[in-house]
Amino acid sequence: MATRPPTPIPETEVEITAMRAQGAGGQNVNKVSSAIHLRFDICNSSLAEDHKERLLALNDQRITRDGVLVIKAQTHRSQDMNRAEALGRLQEVVDSVAEPPRVRRPTKPTKASKRRRLEAKNLRSQVKVLRGRVSE
> Per-residue pLDDT for the chain (136 aa), expressed as one digit of tens each?
456 777 888 888 899 998 887 776 666 666 677 889 999 999 888 888 998 999 999 888 999 999 899 999 988 888 899 999 999 999 999 998 888 888 999 999 999 999 999 999 999 999 999 898 887 7
pTM of the model: 0.70
Q: Which residue ranges make up each domain of the chain?
A: 11-96
The pLDDT value given to residue 92: 92
11-96 fold? Double Stranded RNA Binding Domain (3.30.160)
- Bridge partners, 19 (sequence order): 35
The pLDDT value given to residue 23: 72
DSSP assignment of 7-63 equals PP--GGGEEEEEEPPPSS-THHHHH---EEEEEEESTTSSS-HHHHHHHHHS--TTB
